[in-house]
């Protein structure tokens, strides 16, 4: 698979929100898990003021799967991005 389609990106987003693992998402879409991880990292927004291409990541939890705040227990309580 050379490029992810919009429907693939929607599936990634949905499965990520449901707590699926990278390998599970990759199998559902039919691509390599590395492709999923890179897609998430490339298109995530790490703070409410962030824009695409921002390289500075303040929260160490964003260095590990799932690379987004969606499943973090600190998301609405004591997040450094709020």
Indicate whether this model's pTM tops 0.85: no
pLDDT tens, residue by residue, 44-75: 765 545 455 554 556 777 777 777 766 666 66
Q: For residue 34, tell me if it sits in a domain.
A: yes
**Residue 48 structural domain:** 6-63
How many whole angstroms separate alpha carbon 41 and alpha carbon 52? 10
Position 82 scores a pLDDT of 46
**Averaged pLDDT for residues 35-49:** 74
Say how many domains are in the chain: 1
- Is residue 43 one of the residues assigned to a domain? yes
Cβ atoms within 10 Å of 81's Cβ, excluding its own: 16
Residue 76 lies in a domain: no
Query: Measuring CA to CA, which residue among 27, 26, 39 is closest to residue 68?
Result: 39
């Amino acid at each position: 698979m050379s490029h992810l389609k919009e429907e693939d990106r929607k599936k990634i987003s949905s499965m990520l929100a449901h707590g699926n693992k990278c390998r599970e998402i990759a199998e559902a879409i039919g691509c390599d898990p590395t492709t999923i991880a890179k897609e998430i990292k490339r298109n995530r927004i790490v703070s409410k003021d962030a824009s695409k291409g921002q390289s500075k990541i303040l929260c160490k939890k964003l260095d590990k799967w799932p690379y987004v705040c969606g499943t973090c227990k600190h998301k609405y309580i004591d997040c450094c991005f709020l």
